[in-house]
Amino acid sequence: MKSVQALACVHPRGRFQKLLRCARRTTIVAACAGLIALSSCAPGDNASVASGDDWRVHGGDPSSQRHSRLMDVNEKTVGQLGLAWWVDLDTDAGQEATPIMRDGTLYVISAYDVVRAVDARTGKTRWTYDPEVRAAASRSCCGPVSRGVAVEDGRVFVGALDGRLIALDSNTGKPDWQVQTIDQPHPAPVNYSITGAPRVVKGLIVIGNGGAEFGARGYVTAYDRKTGRKVWRFYTVPGKPGVKDGEISDSALAKAGSSWHGEWWRWGGGGTVWDAIEYDADLNLLYIGVGNGSPTNYGLRSEGKGDNLFLSSIVALRADTGEYVWHYQQTPGESWDYTATQNIIFADLTIAGQPRKVLMQAPKNGLFYILDRATGELISAKPFATINWTKGVDRKSGRPIVNPAAQYFRGQQPAFVMPSSGGAHNWPPMAYDPDGGLVYIPVQDMGLPFAATKDPEIRPGVYNTGTAIPGGDVMRKAELKAATRSMKGYLLAWNPVTGQAAWRREMVSSFNGGVLSTAGGLIFQGNGERKFVAYRAKNGTPLWSFDAQTGIVAPPITYRLDGVQYIAVMAGWGGAWPMLGGQMALTSGNAVGPNRLLVFRIGGKASLPRLAPRSVSAAPPPADKGTTRLIARGDGLYGQYCVRCHGIAAVSASMVPDLRRSGFLAGPELETVVLGGALAEAGMPSFQGKLTLSDLEAVRAYLIHQANRPTE
Ligand code: HEC
């Protein structure tokens, strides 16, 4: 990270700007670590289970319940929980990862995929590995984040933003092997990235990718764990008719093909597998959560016809071969960015008097699904948030009854749809306590106006959703206000068997962290208000909280070493909501702060240094002289090219600069940065070849206009 800092600080621009930038960067800190423990082994662990006090795999144990049997920290002792130590992370770009703790070492991955091995007792960093992916940061829809590494057989497996799968020696942090997982030529403009955690499955390492906003066609690939040799690949959506991939998915996709219409392949089709991948060793089934359509607009993608398999589905594959076994599609004809990629939990539930091996998921579409994980049979689908896209699911057919008013692609008018494209529940993982029988879900209850784009041209390297979201033009004041009014974030305790809420705890911010449940009767969760909180699992009463100095989105873990239980969390505000949400995401206040790995124990006495105030330019913006037409054109271009990182209405709620406060609005620096790529290494892509000079002047006029307006 040093090199980036240096580059930005010496970059040719006015002295004032240099000072400003360097001052801004002094708030950035360095380091990291990871941790946690866990135990409850449900359906057959293929990975070796050494100590039940480690946190060995992504979901804590093979059932991915994110529930720990550890109970030294409990309702009685939690009041004495204190910070044991922390590791500074050399970025403030946001943290989403679940740490892995094995045999006394925490393995953590930070923004830009910097991996660290940290002594889980002391916080001492043993090694750091930087795959140098900063220039690839703009490939990711939602920030340069990673949700975790996998550790097995003395290797740490890393999925890098630029598409590489890298196996590191867990003792030294040096690469043993690496493969590029993105090698598929494609007719559509493809911009794949990896943000998900790789998973160890038998002798294989399985990895997916993201990029459905950029025209990707989704797939997962399994590699030999020892050598990195490709073993199988499963594409989730059909490619161009008549063209076979020569992969195991060919036969399943030959059948799925009739559920697609039009020329979807030009847009990639979507269906990326960017998060949930789970394995049941007893059934030898691998479950993949498949993402949204590309483009999101179903009218453009498939003429508004057909189910579009396997979008928005859970697909079960034979682990060794990748062969298709069954699927369940949650949102046929997906049109609202409703992914089925959210975390999947295995459980043994008694339903109608019968013991059932189930999997549970609370995906973006707002319905809580329970499926029989041997057969894929739908057991139940109950709304856990406010939804209007469907009137419910027909149990017999397993199909949702879609509300015609939500089908914006059939008309000209925007439709206000709940949940939003961010989903009622996104990637911050939920947890399940098998003893208490409750699932704990971080819910974002909100709607968003959806409208078809008026300009259905495919442009490489930028969002191609076929909708006017997140374009500027639909985000007019009234709609923005309606969306903001609808926003609610809460921690929901959900009884999966009855399909009812046990309790809910509302938050100020609508986007909050992933969840850890423990046998100590506690639920741990960080939030957008810079707090890390322990709640009583029974009723949601907050029992303890810690000022983390930054918003938290990552899920905590727990582990035990030498008889001491630790709680660990990667703290750092980032990801889609703060970046794109802009003005809306500011409801939680300014949650951006120093990113750290925070580790707690009973009697911990460490305290964080005082938070330095963030410096912003006090200089007044240039005069607002653009014509209404020019500003409107700039608004549209901003929506197309800039909004996903710099935020709705040019208001930033993330670490990405708030352009209204930029000192570059008046001068030639704007061109140096936006067309010249002067900050490309720092994650600000060059728009050379995408924007003309005259486009840039329109964007400039829009930014100056916004800078002169009061924030609403
Ligand atoms: C992929 C995310 C991304 C996109 C898309 C993006 N930016 Fe940026 N931008 C960044 C990041 C990150 C920085 C901060 C880089 C640094 O640390 O110096 C930045 C910095 C800037 C700066 C410098 C601000 C300052 O005062 O330091 C300007 C100006 C800017 N962007 C304009 C734009 C414009 C205009 C667009 C659309 C045409 C755009 N950006 C699109 C990520 C993005």
How many angstroms does the Cα of residue 627 sit away from the middle of ligand 1? 24
Between CA 636 and CA 642 the distance in angstroms is 10
Contact 72, 565 (CB under 8 A): yes
Contact 274, 291 (CB under 8 A): yes
Close Cβ partners of 277 (under 8 Å, ≥ 6 residues apart): 196, 199, 201, 206, 208, 220, 286, 287, 288, 289
663 in contact with ligand 1, CB cutoff 6 A: yes
The string of pLDDT tens digits covering residues 148-185 is: 999 999 999 999 999 999 999 999 999 999 999 997 55
C-alpha distances in Å from residue 359, one per residue of 43, 65, 231, 684: 11, 10, 26, 40
With 70 as the cut, is the pLDDT of residue 354 above it? yes
| Nearest protein Cα to ligand 1, atom 40 | 642
310 token code pair: 């396997």
- Nearest atom (ligand 1) to Cα of 638: 37
- Nearest atom (ligand 1) to Cα of 579: 2
- Nearest atom (ligand 1) to Cα of 462: 5
- Nearest atom (ligand 1) to Cα of 691: 38
Between CA 691 and CA 697 the distance in angstroms is 10
In this prediction, residue 615 carries a pLDDT of 66
How many angstroms does the Cα of residue 631 sit away from the middle of ligand 1? 19
Cβ of 147: how many Cβ atoms within 10 Å? 25
Close Cβ partners of 199 (under 8 Å, ≥ 6 residues apart): 57, 58, 150, 205, 206, 207, 277, 278, 279
Q: Give the burial class of 665: count Cβ atoms within 10 A of its Cβ; 0-12 exposed, 13-18 middle, 19 or more buried.
A: buried
With 80 as the cut, is the pLDDT of residue 188 above it? no
For a pocket test of ligand 1, which of 642, 684, 687, 690 has the largest count of ligand atoms closer than 8 A to its C-beta?
A: 684
| Nearest protein Cα to ligand 1, atom 34 | 642
In this prediction, residue 618 carries a pLDDT of 67
Tokens 């498939």 belong to residue: 302
Over residues 226-240, mean pLDDT: 97
Between CA 34 and CA 96 the distance in angstroms is 12
Mean pLDDT rounded to a whole number for the chain: 89
- Nearest atom (ligand 1) to Cα of 642: 37
In this prediction, residue 472 carries a pLDDT of 53
In this prediction, residue 561 carries a pLDDT of 97
In this prediction, residue 21 carries a pLDDT of 35
683 in contact with ligand 1, CB cutoff 6 A: yes
With 90 as the cut, is the pLDDT of residue 463 above it? no
Buried (b) or exposed (e) across 404-440, using 16+ Cβ within 10 A? eebbbbeeeebbbbbbbbbbbbbbbbbbbbbebebbb
* Cα 597–Cα 601–Cα 604 angle in degrees, nearest 5: 90
Q: What is the distance, to the nearest Å, from the Cα of residue 684 to the centroid of all Cα atoms in its chain?
A: 20
The string of pLDDT tens digits covering residues 43-77 is: 333 333 345 699 999 999 999 999 999 999 999 99
- Nearest atom (ligand 1) to Cα of 663: 26
Over residues 300-305, mean pLDDT: 96
How many angstroms does the Cα of residue 704 sit away from the middle of ligand 1? 15
117 in contact with ligand 1, CB cutoff 6 A: no
699 in contact with ligand 1, CB cutoff 6 A: yes
pLDDT band at 475 (very low <50, low <70, confident <90, very high): low
Closest listed residue to residue 332, CA positions, set 386, 262, 259:
259
pLDDT band at 698 (very low <50, low <70, confident <90, very high): very high
- Nearest atom (ligand 1) to Cα of 700: 35
Between CA 501 and CA 503 the distance in angstroms is 6
662 in contact with ligand 1, CB cutoff 6 A: yes
Is the torsion defined by CA of 210, 212, 217, 218 positive or negative? positive
657 in contact with ligand 1, CB cutoff 6 A: yes
How many angstroms does the Cα of residue 280 sit away from the middle of ligand 1? 43
| Nearest protein Cα to ligand 1, atom 10 | 684
What percent of the chain has pLDDT above 90? 75
Contact 600, 81 (CB under 8 A): yes
147 token code pair: 């949700």
Closest listed residue to residue 161, CA positions, set 56, 240, 91, 63:
91
Task: Characterise 684 by phi-psi region: left (phi > 0), alpha (psi -120 to 50), beta (else).
Answer: beta
Between CA 330 and CA 334 the distance in angstroms is 9
- Nearest atom (ligand 1) to Cα of 670: 29
What amino acid occupies position 354? Answer: Q
C-alpha distances in Å from residue 221, one per residue of 195, 265, 465: 15, 20, 25
Q: Give the burial class of 280: count Cβ atoms within 10 A of its Cβ; 0-12 exposed, 13-18 middle, 19 or more buried.
A: buried
Cβ of 516: how many Cβ atoms within 10 Å? 29
Between CA 611 and CA 550 the distance in angstroms is 10
In this prediction, residue 47 carries a pLDDT of 38
Between CA 234 and CA 460 the distance in angstroms is 25
How many angstroms does the Cα of residue 684 sit away from the middle of ligand 1? 4
Contact 286, 318 (CB under 8 A): yes
With 50 as the cut, is the pLDDT of residue 1 above it? no
With 50 as the cut, is the pLDDT of residue 11 above it? no
With 70 as the cut, is the pLDDT of residue 38 above it? no
Contact 210, 193 (CB under 8 A): yes
Over residues 675-689, mean pLDDT: 91
Closest listed residue to residue 595, CA positions, set 567, 569, 570:
570
148 in contact with ligand 1, CB cutoff 6 A: no
| Nearest protein Cα to ligand 1, atom 37 | 642
Between CA 580 and CA 375 the distance in angstroms is 38
Instruction: Determine which of 178-192, 196-210, 271-285, 557-571 has the lowest per-residue pLDDT on average.
Output: 178-192
C-alpha distances in Å from residue 69, one per residue of 37, 38, 188, 347: 9, 6, 48, 15
Buried (b) or exposed (e) across 42-63, using 16+ Cβ within 10 A? bbeebbeeebbbbbbbbbbbbb
Residues present in the chain in total: 712
272 in contact with ligand 1, CB cutoff 6 A: no
265 in contact with ligand 1, CB cutoff 6 A: no
What amino acid occupies position 316? Answer: A
| Nearest protein Cα to ligand 1, atom 29 | 670
Closest listed residue to residue 184, CA positions, set 233, 121, 129:
233
Cβ of 659: how many Cβ atoms within 10 Å? 24
| Nearest protein Cα to ligand 1, atom 13 | 684
Tokens 């453009």 belong to residue: 300
Torsion of CA 511, 516, 522, 526, to 10 degrees: -30
With 60 as the cut, is the pLDDT of residue 20 above it? no
Closest listed residue to residue 524, CA positions, set 73, 196, 31:
73
Over residues 679-704, mean pLDDT: 93
Between CA 197 and CA 273 the distance in angstroms is 11
The string of pLDDT tens digits covering residues 569-587 is: 999 999 988 888 887 888 7
Between CA 582 and CA 649 the distance in angstroms is 7
Cβ of 16: how many Cβ atoms within 10 Å? 11
Is the torsion defined by CA of 6, 12, 18, 24 positive or negative? negative
In this prediction, residue 16 carries a pLDDT of 27
